[in-house]
Amino acid sequence: MKFLALSHDAPTTLWDQVDPGLLQAEAHRVHELYLSGCLREIHFTDAGDAVLMLECSGKEEAGQILRSLPLVHHKLIDFEVLQLHPYPGLKRIIAEPLLTKG
């Protein structure tokens, strides 16, 4: 299953006061999750919020993965998690699946 996770800063987060070691630990954990295959993409919005694409078995696993991030653990950020579903609209223009010979 695919999930889109949007970060939100905690109201009390002051980024200029965050320990650089904590940010380094966050980067290491993100790298571990990327190598494991459950974190497929990570981006930032113009507003500076993180956008993560996760591939996992369900919303509970997505939450566990996000809670493993040091910035979440230290309550500096949290995430809104949205499950993504395949777009069904192509059925409107494709009568039958295209079969390939192999």
Ordered domains of the chain (ranges, CATH): 2-86 (3.30.70.1060)
Stated length of the chain: 102
Nearest residue to 79 (alpha-carbon basis) of 53, 57, 97? 53
Structure tokens of 94?
């494709």
Structure tokens of 60?
């509970």
pLDDT tens across the length of the chain (102 residues) = 999 999 999 999 999 999 999 999 999 999 999 999 999 999 999 999 999 999 999 999 999 999 999 999 999 999 999 999 999 888 888 876 666 666
Q: How far apart are CA 78 and CA 89, in angstroms?
A: 32
Q: How far apart are CA 26 and CA 70, in angstroms?
A: 5
Per the CB < 8 A criterion, the answer to whether 77 and 8 are in contact is: yes
Q: Which pTM was predicted? A: 0.84
